Amino acid sequence: MILVFGSINVDVIVPVPRLPEPGETVLGGDYQLLPGGKGANQAVAACRAGADVVIAGAVGSDSFARVALDPLVRAGIDTRLVRTVAAPTGCAAIMVSESGENMIAVASGANTAVCSDQVPDAIFGPETILVTQMEVPPAETAAMIRRVRAAGGSVLLNLAPALAIDPSLLGEIDLVVANAGEAATLGADPGQIASRLRRALIVTCGAAGATAYLANGGIFSVPALPIVPIDTTGAGDTFVGVLAAALDAGAALETGLRRASAAAGLACLARGAQSSMPDAAMIEQAVRQLPER
Ligand code: RIB
């Protein structure tokens, strides 16, 4: 079982011809209101890939809460650990350029009220994979990581957005997934960072695929799907969710990373984070189209 501890947002997406410079206004196309949040996105990606998923998070008692939560329920995700709190549902303002690049600003709202205590001990155990990110309070994420590890479960941390973490926490984490910029905040040498983790540091590199730096000193890379991106929003979340689902199903790390990489490529082919996430059959087919390294 996968336990996602993380953010739940509504994304306000504005397509723009190009991303604005600071202080500049650009005119865009029609906006869309879509479900998002790194936690929710990763939960949907794992669920579509075939995993049983429970999510712990928080929303407000506003109309955005249903926009954010209904798709999770429809996807088959267990949302009983999502609290309703006295703050607005998290909201992300996202601009997507014609080349598929994005800029994101998050109004965290209810996500700042997420706490480890809302997850009872009975929910997790040795078979649990905790999937978490940095959009809910880091102290609560750290507490959740330590609790799952004490119960014998494993931990996948997506270091997004890049915030400082307690160095002593690294030894409690099986896998860190980060893009190159996020990984650099942990230190200059990925191999050295990996040696402090339980299993590996995975650095995602967009069109160049991803590299796994193993705690035992090993290193290998997986390629990306050759695609022309329409919207990269949620591609990293798809990578994380699909990797967690593969590991939950007993796959080896390299197999899981190939599935994650293929799925992340597919997720760039339509606008929105969750709407473009592939199911297990689509991932299977795309893995066969990955180039040799
Ligand atoms: O990773 C993409 C996500 O980041 C968006 O859905 C947005 O809500 C922000 O959390």
Mutate to test the pocket of ligand 1, among 9, 34, 95, 103 (most ligand atoms within 8 A of CB): 9
For residue range 194-242, what is the model confidence (pLDDT) as tens digits?
999 999 999 999 999 999 999 999 999 999 999 999 989 999 999 999 9
Q: Which amino acid is at 259?
A: R
Q: In angstroms, how far is the first alpha carbon of the chain from the final one?
A: 31
CATH superfamily of 2-21+31-287: Ribokinase (3.40.1190.20)
Give all strands of the β-sheet with 90-97 in edge-to-edge order: 32-36, 9-16, 90-97, 102-107
Residues with CB under 6 A from ligand 1: 7, 9, 11, 36-38, 41, 92, 104, 106, 135, 233-234, 236-237, 273
* Structural domain spans, the chain: 2-21+31-287
For residue range 157-196, what is the model confidence (pLDDT) as tens digits?
999 999 999 999 999 999 999 999 999 999 999 999 999 9
Locate the DSSP E strands across the chain: 2-5, 9-16, 32-36, 53-60, 78-85, 90-97, 102-107, 129-132, 154-158, 175-179, 200-204, 210-214, 219-222
Q: State mean pLDDT over 84-97.
A: 97
Mean pLDDT computed over every residue of the chain: 96
pTM for the model stands at 0.97
